[in-house]
Amino acid sequence: AQSVTQPDIHITVSEGASLELRCNYSYGATPYLFWYVQSPGQGLQLLLKYFSGDTLVQGIKGFEAEFKRSQSSFNLRKPSVHWSDAAEYFCAVGMVDGGATNKLIFGTGTLLAVQP
């Protein structure tokens, strides 16, 4: 069965420090992978996505993620965290049905706190 695992429920980093959020997936075919960020009172915002091609994907707000098929991972990284990055981050895998991504399966999320 398809699933997404985010091993870290809560992470605290200092402002300016680097960040890596882990995501592992289980999916039988080539995955469509997404990272979303959820801030209080706001909808989920797409940070980046991977469909094919270059396995290092650049996103908004300085985030990047690397798809590693051998490890079934799609970890999110940022070289220098800003206080405004404090939020909850969700990794998701898209299930493909007839060539179109129809459903998203989400991980349990990682809550990021940023210390001054």
Residues binding other proteins (CB under 8 A): 9, 32, 34, 36, 41-46, 49, 51, 90, 94, 96, 99-109, 111
The sign of the dihedral angle between the CA atoms of 78, 27, 50, 91 is negative
For other proteins, which is the closer residue by CB, 16 or 103?
103
For other proteins, which is the closer residue by CB, 19 or 47?
47
Least Cβ distance, residue 85 to other proteins (angstroms) = 19
8 A C-beta contact, residue 44 and residue 19: no
For other proteins, which is the closer residue by CB, 13 or 105?
105
Give me Rg for the CA atoms of the chain: 14
Nearest to 62 by CA among 74, 44, 50, 47: 47
Least Cβ distance, residue 12 to other proteins (angstroms) = 16
Strands 45-50 and 32-38: antiparallel
Least Cβ distance, residue 92 to other proteins (angstroms) = 8
